[in-house]
């Protein structure tokens, strides 16, 4: 396995960063999780746009141009010889001193890891996930806009810990006003009487790239889709609930806080959206 580390390709053992890196000391940095399908980088432009926007917002200078970054991704994939897999692209503020001041970290660290992906078993996509809501809240309006995909994932990790304690794979996080925000690392959708709903990003959801792809697919195949705030009650009484994310794609939910959703398995709209999504992933992307 070859890892891109600041312009060089190194082994997993050699791929280390300084203990003074502000990504480590303060979670000061940003990242992307990207899929490779059939040798193509899925939604490469969208991921790089989100990365460079996140960087601009936090005044982090990425030492590679957009096309150099694209080339680095392509080359890392080539060296690892993977046709299908997952890319983790991390840009941290880089090594500095113990103080917060980013001016002391003149050189950002850039890391690209390409790996095989371990996702949910196929049967989970048919039967759906059991899930719970958790007490961890996403504060809105937040000092940190949820559109920034920052390395500060403590909130999401607390959600994951609560999911683990409940014995489920993914959980639902509300925002400080009680509206549904998202999962620990997935966006959430519900379906009611044929209409598809997802929380607007101002509710505390990341502007997920899979989320955007699903909204686009809905519009293309004629499902009404609305970005509207909703509550846990709306989730409990929904006909279908599903999560979306780069790793999970589109995964149905069969149970939330011991309420069975719909028929207790992936519903027809979720199933259709997963199918449509899997049709586009094969053809979209940078070679």
- Options 3, 182, 274, 281; binder of ligand PLP; rule CB under 6 A: 182
Tokens of 284: 């979209």
**CB of 62 closer than 8 Å to CB of 53:** no
* Residue 85 in the binding site for ligand PLP (CB under 6 A): no
- Rounded CA-CA distance 22/51 in Å is 18
107 catalytic per annotation? no
Q: Which is nearer to ligand PLP, 105 or 133 (CB)?
A: 133
Nearer to ligand PLP, 62 or 159 (CB): 159
Cα separation, 172 vs 180, in Å, equals 7
Give the residues across from 164 on adjacent strands.
none
CA angle 278, 35, 285 (to 5 degrees): 75
Q: Is 285 in the site for ligand PLP (CB under 6 A)?
A: no
Instruction: Give yes or no for residue 134 binding ligand PLP (CB under 6 A).
Output: no
Closest approach of ligand PLP to the CB of residue 119, in Å: 12
Binders of ligand PLP among residues 145 to 174 (CB under 6 A) are 156
Per-residue x/- track, 7-26, ligand PLP (CB under 6 A): --------------------
80 interacts with ligand PLP by CB under 6 A? no
Between strands 129-138 and 249-256, the pairing is: parallel
Stretch that binds ligand PLP, among 89-97, 105-113, 121-129, 178-186 (CB under 6 A): 178-186
Please name the helix (run of DSSP H) or strand (run of DSSP E) that holds residue 23, with its range, or none: helix 22-26
Contact residue for ligand PLP among 199, 245, 267, 285 (CB under 6 A): 245
- 224 near 194, Cβ under 8 Å? yes
Residue of the chain from 206, 238, 241, 281 that contacts ligand PLP (CB under 6 A)? 206
**Of 257, 199, 246, whose CA–CA distance to 41 is shortest?**
246
Judged by CB under 6 A, the chain residues 29 through 68 that form the site for ligand PLP are 33
Place of tokens 């991704």: 73
Segment contacting ligand PLP by CB under 6 A, of 10-18, 60-68, 102-110, 239-247: 239-247
| Helix H or strand E encompassing 72 | helix 66-80
Binding ligand PLP (rule: CB under 6 A), the pick from 62, 209, 217, 251 is 209
DSSP track, 28-40: -EEEEEEEEETTE
**Catalytic (active-site) positions:** 149
Contact residues for ligand PLP (CB under 6 A)?
33, 156, 182, 185-187, 206, 208-211, 244-246
């Amino acid at each position: 396995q070859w890892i891109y580390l600041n312009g060089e390709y190194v082994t997993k053992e050699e791929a280390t960063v300084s203990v003074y890196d502000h990504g480590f000391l303060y979670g000061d940095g940003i990242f992307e999780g990207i899929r490779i399908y059939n040798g193509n980088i899925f939604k490469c432009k969208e991921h790089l746009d989100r990365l460079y926007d996140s960087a601009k917002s936090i005044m982090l200078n990425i030492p590679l141009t957009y096309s150099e970054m694209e080339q680095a991704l392509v080359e890392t994939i080539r060296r690892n010889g993977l046709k299908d897999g997952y890319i983790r692209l991390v840009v941290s503020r880089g090594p500095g001193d113990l103080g917060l001041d980013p001016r002391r970290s003149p050189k950002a660290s850039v890391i690209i890891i390409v790996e095989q992906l371990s996702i949910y078993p196929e049967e989970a996509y048919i039967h759906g996930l059991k899930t719970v809501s958790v007490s961890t809240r996403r504060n809105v309006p937040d000092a940190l806009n949820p559109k920034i995909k920052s390395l500060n994932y403590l909130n999401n990790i607390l959600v994951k810990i609560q999911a683990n304690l409940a014995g489920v794979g993914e959980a639902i996080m509300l925002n400080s006003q009680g509206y549904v925000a998202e999962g620990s690392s997935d966006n959430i959708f519900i379906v009611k009487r044929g209409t598809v709903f997802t929380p607007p990003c101002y509710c505390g959801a990341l502007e997920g790239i899979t989320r955007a792809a699903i909204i686009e697919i809905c519009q293309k195949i004629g499902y009404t889709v609305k970005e509207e705030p909703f509550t846990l009650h709306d989730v409990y009484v929904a006909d279908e609930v599903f999560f979306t994310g780069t790793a999970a794609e589109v995964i149905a939910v069969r149970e939330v806080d011991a309420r069975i959703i719909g028929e207790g398995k992936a519903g027809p709209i979720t199933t259709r959206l997963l199918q449509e999504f899997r049709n586009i992933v094969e053809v979209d992307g940078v070679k």
